[in-house]
Structure 1
Amino acid sequence: MISFEFPVNERTRSLLRLEQLYRRLAYFVDGEHANEHHSALLTLFELMETASRADLKADLLQELERQKQLLEPLHDNPAIEQHTLDGLLDEIELTTSRLLELTGKFGQHLRENEWLMAIKQRAGIPGGTCQFDLPSYFLWQLKPAEERRADLNRWAAPLMPTAGAARILLKLLRDSGKTHHYLARKGMFQQMSGGKVVQLIRVSFDENLGVLPELSANKYALNIRFVSAVTGEVRARQTDADVDFELTFCKF
């Protein structure tokens, strides 16, 4: 099975983008080659821009507090594993504290580093980080991998509370999902929403079908169209086959 997630609002869209960037950052930081650490640095710059929205921190804190208020009454529910619940609440509390400790604009410590900003500026030019453009960066790439990794972790450390908040909120959102089986006849499916509000929609199906879902949703209706998975040589077309799939609605 393969799954595609579709955010329904801007907050969920931001969380998914942050999740992808932090995963990519962790992957490249763990690498050994200078090219992997170059990719890690470019990802840091992407994170700096993606999370620079002024109200992001306030949004994360507000949602973490709301989830905490919803979870605390579950201590009286015998069907809930109390040890797991306590661990989650402790994690929310710790992440909230770390977010509150952040001062200034997200990634400000990176913006104040002239050396990093010079790399960021040159990275926007095709081939702009060559040895003759940035000799000091070339020397940094020649350092042992553990030294480069230590630098990357130091630069990334002030950004990590945001990663923790995104991870907690997306886990809670995904765990809330309710899944149903449907059949898209000749690749087309429509369902009236009846005013139901969700934050995330997940579509899952057999990856061997060679199709991709195209989704549009609002408070009135949900439309899914399955099209052929192509890479540009030919135009994508709606499949003529029936598609058996799972549809998951997630909301806090």
Structure 2
Amino acid sequence: MILYEYPFNERIRTYLRLQQLFSRLGELVGRDQALDHHFALITLFEIMEVGGRSELKSEVLKDLERQKQVYSAYRGNPAISEKALDGLIAQLDHLFEALNHVAGKMGQSLTDHDFLMALRSRVAIPGGTCEFDLPAYHAWQHHDASSRTRDLQQWILPFAPWAQAIEQLLQMLRESGSSQKVMATSGQLQQNLPQGRSFQLLRLKIDPSLGLTPEISCNRLLVVIRMMRQQSDGKLVATTDDVPFEMTLCA
């Protein structure tokens, strides 16, 4: 099954983008080639760009505190393991404290690093990191893989509290929903959302053998999904077939 996720608000949209970038960064840092490490640095700069809003830190901290309050309310429930609950709340406390001790906005610790900031200013220019533009960076790419990896790990270390907190929040959000099997009749599903509930994320799973791509539109009142088929010229055309898929609404 292919999984698609659609955020209902800008905050969750930012979390999803950052999670994808952190995942890519971790994979690239673990490789040995200089080209992989080049794109690891580009990904690092993308993370700084996406996470550069000054209010993002307070939003993540508020979400961690909100989740702690939600799970604290389960204390005394005989259906809930107190040991597991204590462990989860302790983990939320740890993530809160770790992020709260990070100074400034995401990536601020790197803004005084001349080598990285010179590279960041050039990567937006097509071909702007050639050896005649950035000889110091060209030399760094010729360091042995272990040396480059150590540098990368040192540079990304301040981002770890952010990555761990966002990973935990998204995991808890995804687990809050229950999956249902639905049908897009004649290729389209339109569903009204219940009043009084504030959904944050839609998750959709579809069989790849169907060869279809969902086009999703959501707001707090309505979900609209159209199933599209890609033509040989790349154009997407709405299908009129009945299409089964799984959908999860997460609050």
**TM-score, with structure 1 as normaliser:** 0.95
Summarize the alignment of residues 151-190 of structure 1 with structure 2, pairs less than 5 Å apart. Answer: 151-190=151-190
Deviation string, structure 1 residues 190-239 (Cα, Å, up to 9, x no partner): 11123342000011121110111111122332111000135x72421011
- Separation in structure 1 between the aligned mates of residue 237 and residue 106 of structure 2, nearest angstrom: 42
Please state whether the residue corresponding to 1:237 is helix, strand or coil: strand
- Separation in structure 1 between the aligned mates of residue 228 and residue 20 of structure 2, nearest angstrom: 25
Deviation string, structure 1 residues 131-157 (Cα, Å, up to 9, x no partner): 121111111111111111111111111
Q: Which amino acid in the other structure matches residue 24 of structure 2? A: R
Deviation string, structure 1 residues 83-115 (Cα, Å, up to 9, x no partner): 332322222111111111111232122111111
82-91 or 25-34, which deviates more: 82-91
8 A contact 2:214–2:226 mirrored in 1: yes
Deviation string, structure 1 residues 44-72 (Cα, Å, up to 9, x no partner): 11111111101100011111011101112
Moved over 6 A (4+): none
8 A contact 2:98–2:161 mirrored in 1: yes
Unpaired runs of 5+ residues, structure 1, are none
What corresponds to 1:109 in structure 2? 109
1:11 is displaced (CA, Å) by 1.1
1:160 is displaced (CA, Å) by 1.2
Unpaired runs of 5+ residues, structure 2, are none
Summarize the alignment of residues 3-82 of structure 1 with structure 2, pairs less than 5 Å apart. Answer: 3-82=3-82
8 A contact 2:227–2:238 mirrored in 1: yes
- Separation in structure 2 between the aligned mates of residue 176 and residue 105 of structure 1, nearest angstrom: 29
Summarize the alignment of residues 104-143 of structure 1 with structure 2, pairs less than 5 Å apart. Answer: 104-143=104-143
- Separation in structure 2 between the aligned mates of residue 205 and residue 105 of structure 1, nearest angstrom: 37
Deviation string, structure 1 residues 14-43 (Cα, Å, up to 9, x no partner): 110110010011000001000011111011
What corresponds to 1:226 in structure 2? 227
Q: Which amino acid in the other structure matches residue 88 of structure 2? A: L
- Separation in structure 2 between the aligned mates of residue 234 and residue 174 of structure 1, nearest angstrom: 32
116-125 or 213-222, which deviates more: 213-222
- Separation in structure 1 between the aligned mates of residue 44 and residue 222 of structure 2, nearest angstrom: 38
Please state whether the residue corresponding to 2:227 is helix, strand or coil: strand
1:181 is displaced (CA, Å) by 1.4
Instruction: Please provide the CA RMSD for this pair.
Output: 1.4
Q: How many residues align?
A: 250
Please state whether the residue corresponding to 1:58 is helix, strand or coil: helix
Deviation string, structure 1 residues 154-190 (Cα, Å, up to 9, x no partner): 1111111111110110011000012211111121111
Q: Which amino acid in the other structure matches residue 206 of structure 2? A: F
77-86 or 177-186, which deviates more: 77-86
Q: Which amino acid in the other structure matches residue 188 of structure 2? A: M
- Percent of aligned positions with the same letter in both sequences? 42
51-60 or 184-193, which deviates more: 184-193
8 A contact 2:193–2:221 mirrored in 1: yes
Please state whether the residue corresponding to 2:75 is helix, strand or coil: helix
- Separation in structure 2 between the aligned mates of residue 234 and residue 2 of structure 1, nearest angstrom: 19
